Amino acid sequence: MAIIERPSTEIAVAGGATVGVKPSEALGVFKRPAASNSWRDWIVTVDHKKLGIMYGVAAFAFFIIGGVEALLIRLQLMGPDGKVLSADQYNQMFTMHATTMVFLFVMPMVSAFANYFIPLQIGARDVAFPRINAFGFWCWLFGGIFLNTSWFLGGAADGGWFMYAPNSSTLFSPSHGVDFWVLGLQITGIASLTGAINLIVTVLNMRAPGMKLMRMPIFTWMALVVQFLLLFAMPVITVALFLLSFQRTFDATFFDVAAGADPLLWQHLFWIFGHPEVYILILPSFGIVSEVIPVFSKKPLFGYPIVAMSGAAIGFVGWGVWAHHMFASGLGPVSVAVFSMATMAIAVPTGVKIVNWVMTMWGGKLKFSVAMLFAIGLVVQFTIGGLSGVTHSVAPSDTQQTDTYYIVAHFHYVLFGGAIFGLFAGFYYWWPKMFRKQLNEGLGQWNFWLMVIGMNMTFGPMHILGLQGQPRRMGVWTEARAGEGFFNIGFWNMIASIGSLILAVGVLLFIINIVYTHKSKRVPIAPLDPWDARSLEWMTSSPPAEHNFDAIPAINHLDEFFHRKYAEDPTTHEIKQVATAEEVLADMNAHPDEHIHMPSRSYWPILVALALPIICYGLIYNRLLMAVGAAFLLLTMFGWAMEPSTAPDDDFDPPAPSEGGGHTKELAPLG
Amino acid sequence: MNNPRRRRVLTLAGIAAGLLTLAGCAKDAPQDTWQPAGPNAEMIDNLQQPVFLVAGIVGVIVMAAVAWAVFRYRDRGQAIPEQTHGKPAIEITLTIIPVLILIGVAIPTTSTIFDLAKTDDTEMVINVTGQQWWWEYDYPAIGDNADKYGLSQPIVTSGQLVIPENTKVLLRVTSRDVIHSYWIPKLNGKKDGVPGRVHLLRLEGSKPGIYAGQCTEFCGLSHSYMRMETIVLKRADFDVWVANQLAPYESPAEGTLAKEGESLYIQQCSRCHQVNGLADAEGNLIVSAPEQYVVSGAAPNLTNLMTRITFAGASWDLLTQQCRDDVWKASANEFGAKYLSGVSADCLNQKDLREWLRNSPEKKPMYVDPTKLQETNGKYRGMPALGLTEDQIDALVAYLLERK
């Protein structure tokens, strides 16, 4: 068993002069909280795995909220002249549906997986900045809650998730909904930015010995590309949101046409963020299925370097296609032609990935676990979404399709059929790693097939609706424009609405599966390596101890775990199992690391994050409240800065300063 | 497990193929993007049909490959496969093929983009202005408009854009408030009307008829109720239409209900809604001033309301169902005469028009609640309820019926 230590208190604390202070001597409020098993531990934790689970649980709650919003939209559009929602409510509903699904479900669910699995996949004990990591989570959660309180405070934002100027100004959107939207996204944006920096530093600096970049698991690769996209995309939307905030709160005129502004400025800013954002949503799921498909095909990922590099290529070219959201906005023909071609170009690295997934399965030994089914679901449905994407890279064709249901069909195939199916593959694949139990495969089958049927029934007909000319974002459609015959809009709207209910039942089955798995006494503890996996996160206990690995492994191969379990017979070239997962683990843990340093818990991340919504409520309602929030922010930041670097664990004595920590095998994470 | 998967793949392929072959057979779909009725839309259609076809074929091939892999390589107890990390030849081939396909798509795409942007052979210019939640059309009396098409005076109308057949019409699209988008699917793709900018969109209809469209850029509360039509008329019919629009104002005969309606109109409506030639009791021409009451600064010109067959952002018919079908479903030859006959007393859709006059914001959501107009300094976004009595509505309807 490894000996776990907290980092020594060698840096200056409270006053700057003291070196090597015993944590127990630090002043009252500045003491770091000790480890405990109560719920309080979740509030003060800086453990990347706990934060990952918290991201996951909260994001799933927002998924349900966003899903209910979607169901209300489909109920409203089920028949002509819908009466379920008023025009105002409908506009709020589709604005918040998109905002919730993008910013409060898919992005944080990706954070959940990235937080939990990147350190495990690269053989690290935590992320580089654990307190910042906790701070990011609380910012995101408080931002999301803040955003949703607008429902009860005069109505949510009603300008669409793209929030085009000048419709977003106080003149055209007089409720506080847009203010909540702008400020809420600013707060959640902090999480994306800090998370990006944190994970980039983690991946670049904290990989296990021998893990070259080209030996990294592909999920970590894709997540790394995404963090770079976030690092550069979030500042753009932050600037745009600040401009809008200043316009709405302080009467600035950035988007005021009467004052000489050009409203297209907002569109360019929004889509320079918004298009990379699309890849931010989909690439992690590409990473997940690139883990899942090889495991259940018993083959390495076909063309691993090409998949990694095409991910990076998408990350670059993704910056040069934003104006394809604006083909109808009045750009000149030269710009339109250039962005049209750039958009076609990005189809190539995307197509390469699909080819590689199919080629991975080709010649394999396929096992259709639910995780694998969801991964294949992604391959098929993303292909449909990708091909409809190619049809609107053809700009003249796009001027017919844009802002119709054809686009809605396209991006739901990409984001629901792609990104969300990928996340579900991840749920089923990594569940036993995180929670020691496998989700029920039988219920999972039902979960999968109902989601496939529901998804295709909901979004498949939208191709027809769009080509028949039904525009998006309309709270009502009319019989007079519905047409007749097999392709009339009424019939297909009805089918889509019924499909959405089936889809909802499919998602509900996932929740039932979770409850069943964890409540039923008949579900056994999962084996250590239930899927015969290939990568490092499976080379430790389930769930991993706080310090992840008793001994940090040395990496000699891509798919290190597989290579420790299997070897090729030099004469027959047959692949033979040479060790079980348990044997690999026992072998590895025969020589555990000594003096493992883990970061201490902290009160401050949640407190600093809590100050931000207070400031934002103040901005909207009362400047005095804003001042209170700002004071709270300063105080909590001071507290953070003054905090000793270690908890007052009774059994801990800091090493003498002369030893200088040189005996440790690994640097303590900072932050 | 494999069979349902194959069936699903086949179903999906079937849907794709079905979409390709059957969408062209859609009947009476007023906004079908695959039924072009003019050269611009045809240009787009000629480009997109092969693209849809290629995309469909590629999709079927990928799905067939997935289905085959799923069927052929399912775990039947075979040995653990070779741990191959890829074959560069396959990778390169399967990268080059899509590159070639996309180059094949890119070339005609680029030439079509430039063809559609052509404006140097324009024959008629119309200014199209969006505002919450209707379109205004202004035919300037300049150049060819005046010389060749008899527009001795500008015409200002709304909702229904009337253009002559086989004429290259250039729309100069803009907006008075938020961004809107002008879209008549059977005639061309869409183009945003952005405040402070003028965007050009070419329309040309090759067959007389009524072509439906809808604002496609989200423009706030009543975005769903911002519709429009483009009417294509034979040249001779178009000349009749121009003459109708420019005909001098005729006041209703003394003592009629319509005459009562006129004074009510002057009292209640003329502040915002212009009727050209309408004069007050002293004989002074009345010029409406919607800029004082409405955020966008405009309200539909009602001089020839009953020559149009829809109202309030083309959201409701001025014709009863039967008379409506008679016009909308008329053959190309008969269409002009039927459209030009406008709205008669027998054909008037009393129900919707009266509901509108009774309480317009209830019918079409608009920002007219006086307690919520601080941001706009009391100006409306839309038309407020006027609190008219049923008798007043009778008189107004009688007056409006004569606006032809």
Residues of chain B neighbouring A261 (CB-CB closer than 8 A): 196
Distances (CA, A) of B315 to A177, A484, A579, B328, B352: 28, 19, 73, 15, 10
Range in A292-306, B80-94, B293-307 with the lowest mean pLDDT: B80-94
Tens of pLDDT, residue by residue over A190-226, are 999 999 999 999 999 999 999 999 999 999 999 999 9
User: Chain B interface, mutation test: which of A387, A401, A413, A495, most B Cβ atoms within 10 Å?
Assistant: A387
Q: Which of A526, A556, A581 is the last residue of a domain?
A: A526
Q: Does any CB of chain B come closer than 8 Å to the CB of residue A484?
A: yes
Is B231 in a helix, a strand, or coil?
strand
Q: Could A257 and B196 be called an inter-chain contact, meaning their C-beta atoms sit closer than 8 Å?
A: yes
Q: Which amino acid is at A413?
A: Y
Nearest to B222 among A87, A170, A363 (CB): A87
Q: Confidence class of residue A19 from pLDDT cuts 50, 70 and 90? A: very low
Residues of chain B neighbouring A263 (CB-CB closer than 8 A): 179, 194-196
Q: Is the dihedral of CA B133, B134, B136, B137 positive or negative?
A: positive
Tens of pLDDT, residue by residue over B330-340, are 999 999 999 99
Quick one: which H or E segment has residue A202? helix A177-205
Distances (CA, A) of A533 to A121, A555, A561, A581, A610: 12, 16, 7, 9, 40
Query: Which residues, listed in sequence order, are joined to residue A659 by a DSSP beta bridge?
Result: none
User: Chain B interface, mutation test: which of A81, A171, A336, most B Cβ atoms within 10 Å?
Assistant: A171
Which pLDDT score, from 0 to 100, does residue A264 have? Answer: 96
Residue A77: closest CA among A496, A482, A360, A393: A496
> In the numeric block, which tokens belong to residue A134?
């906790």
Q: Exposed, middle or buried by CB within 10 Å (0-12, 13-18, 19+), for A337?
A: buried
Is there a domain that residue A627 lies in?
yes
Chain B residue with minimal CA distance to A377?
B5
Q: Could B91 and A376 be called an inter-chain contact, meaning their C-beta atoms sit closer than 8 Å?
A: no
Backbone angles phi, psi at A387, to 5 degrees: -70, -40
CB atoms within 10 A of CB A574: 11
Distance separating alpha carbons of residues A343 and A392, to the nearest angstrom: 9
Q: Could B65 and A358 be called an inter-chain contact, meaning their C-beta atoms sit closer than 8 Å?
A: yes
Q: Which residue has the tokens 């991201």?
A: A55
Chain B residue with minimal CA distance to A159?
B220
Residues of chain A neighbouring B190 (CB-CB closer than 8 A): 328, 399-400, 402-403
Q: Could A475 and B224 be called an inter-chain contact, meaning their C-beta atoms sit closer than 8 Å?
A: yes
Shared domain check, A550 and A520? no
Higher pLDDT, B11 or A621: A621
Q: What's the average model confidence in pLDDT over A599-617?
A: 95
Tens of pLDDT, residue by residue over B170-195, are 999 999 999 999 999 999 999 999 99
Which pLDDT score, from 0 to 100, does residue B251 have? Answer: 95
Q: Could B33 and A376 be called an inter-chain contact, meaning their C-beta atoms sit closer than 8 Å?
A: no
Q: B286-292 long-range contacts, Cβ below 8 Å, gap at least 24?
A: B292/B379
Nearest to B15 among A297, A460, A486 (CB): A460
Q: Confidence class of residue A415 from pLDDT cuts 50, 70 and 90? A: very high
Shared domain check, A312 and A171? no
Q: Does any CB of chain B come closer than 8 Å to the CB of residue A306?
A: yes
Q: Which of A492, A526, A560 is the last residue of a domain?
A: A526
Nearest to B26 among A393, A466, A485 (CB): A485
Nearest to A396 among B8, B43, B215 (CB): B43
Is there a domain that residue A342 lies in?
yes
Q: What's the average model confidence in pLDDT over B144-166?
A: 96
Q: Does any CB of chain B come closer than 8 Å to the CB of residue A475?
A: yes
Q: Does any CB of chain B come closer than 8 Å to the CB of residue A380?
A: yes
Say if CB A71 and CB A15 are below 8 A apart: no
The answer, yes or no, to whether residue A649 has pLDDT greater than 60, is: no
Shared domain check, A161 and A90? yes
Distance separating alpha carbons of residues B156 and B301, to the nearest angstrom: 7
User: Chain A interface, mutation test: which of B80, B171, B180, B311, most A Cβ atoms within 10 Å?
Assistant: B80
Chain A residue with minimal CA distance to B108?
A394
Tens of pLDDT, residue by residue over B68-93, are 999 999 999 999 999 988 888 998 99
Q: Does any CB of chain B come closer than 8 Å to the CB of residue A487?
A: yes
Distance separating alpha carbons of residues A244 and A255, to the nearest angstrom: 8
Shared domain check, A290 and A213? no
User: Chain A window 239-298: which residues touch B at a Cβ cutoff of 8 Å?
Assistant: 257, 260-264, 297-298
Is B303 in a helix, a strand, or coil?
coil
Which structural domain, as residue segments, surrounds residue A254?
Answer: 36-261+529-642
Residue B404: closest CA among B250, B229, B211, B284: B250
Say if CB B244 and CB B304 are below 8 A apart: yes
Shared domain check, A565 and A512? no
Residues of chain B neighbouring A344 (CB-CB closer than 8 A): 102, 105-106, 109
Q: Could B113 and A395 be called an inter-chain contact, meaning their C-beta atoms sit closer than 8 Å?
A: yes
A132: CATH: 1.20.210.10
Shared domain check, A509 and A533? no
Residue B162: closest CA among B17, B308, B292: B308
Distance separating alpha carbons of residues B295 and A4, to the nearest angstrom: 68
Residues of chain A neighbouring B63 (CB-CB closer than 8 A): 380, 383
Say if CB A612 and CB A142 are below 8 A apart: yes
Residues of chain A neighbouring B47 (CB-CB closer than 8 A): 394, 396-397
Which pLDDT score, from 0 to 100, does residue B147 have? Answer: 95
Which pLDDT score, from 0 to 100, does residue A488 have? Answer: 92
Q: Could B30 and A91 be called an inter-chain contact, meaning their C-beta atoms sit closer than 8 Å?
A: no
Q: How many domains does chain A have?
A: 2
Q: Exposed, middle or buried by CB within 10 Å (0-12, 13-18, 19+), for B137?
A: buried
Residue A312: closest CA among A204, A221, A213: A221
User: Chain A interface, mutation test: which of B12, B21, B22, B109, most A Cβ atoms within 10 Å?
Assistant: B109
Is there a domain that residue A657 lies in?
no
The answer, yes or no, to whether residue B165 has pLDDT greater than 50, is: yes
Q: Exposed, middle or buried by CB within 10 Å (0-12, 13-18, 19+), for A70?
A: buried
Q: Does any CB of chain B come closer than 8 Å to the CB of residue A402?
A: yes
Q: Which of A526, A546, A578 is the last residue of a domain?
A: A526
The answer, yes or no, to whether residue B105 has pLDDT greater than 70, is: yes
The answer, yes or no, to whether residue A452 has pLDDT greater than 90, is: yes
Is there a domain that residue A498 lies in?
yes
Q: Does any CB of chain B come closer than 8 Å to the CB of residue A68?
A: no
Which pLDDT score, from 0 to 100, does residue B15 have? Answer: 62
Which pLDDT score, from 0 to 100, does residue B254 have? Answer: 95
Q: Exposed, middle or buried by CB within 10 Å (0-12, 13-18, 19+), for A166?
A: buried
Q: Could B177 and A166 be called an inter-chain contact, meaning their C-beta atoms sit closer than 8 Å?
A: yes
Shared domain check, A246 and A133? yes
Shared domain check, A216 and A330? no
Q: Does any CB of chain B come closer than 8 Å to the CB of residue A500?
A: no
Which distant-in-sequence residues (6+ apart) come within 8 Å of A610 by Cβ?
A138, A142, A632, A636
Size of interface A-B (CB pairs under 8 A): 336
Q: Confidence class of residue A656 from pLDDT cuts 50, 70 and 90? A: very low
Is there a domain that residue A659 lies in?
no
The answer, yes or no, to whether residue A654 has pLDDT greater than 60, is: no
Q: Is B62 left (phi over 0), alpha (psi -120 to 50) or beta?
A: alpha
Shared domain check, A222 and A119? yes
The rounded Cα B339 to chain-centroid distance in angstroms is 18
Chain B residue with minimal CA distance to A349?
B95
Nearest to A333 among B114, B183, B185 (CB): B114
Which pLDDT score, from 0 to 100, does residue B3 have? Answer: 55
Shared domain check, A294 and A237? no
Residues of chain A neighbouring B309 (CB-CB closer than 8 A): none
Is there a domain that residue A9 lies in?
no
The DSSP symbol for B162 reads E
Q: Could A328 and B190 be called an inter-chain contact, meaning their C-beta atoms sit closer than 8 Å?
A: yes
Is there a domain that residue A28 lies in?
no
Distance separating alpha carbons of residues A602 and A46, to the nearest angstrom: 7
Shared domain check, A441 and A488? yes
Chain B residue with minimal CA distance to A82?
B224
Is there a domain that residue A585 lies in?
yes
Residue B74: closest CA among B12, B6, B8, B14: B6
Tens of pLDDT, residue by residue over A89-128, are 999 999 999 999 999 999 999 999 999 999 999 999 999 9
Shared domain check, A204 and A150? yes
Tens of pLDDT, residue by residue over A251-264, are 999 999 999 999 99
Distance separating alpha carbons of residues A530 and A23, to the nearest angstrom: 42
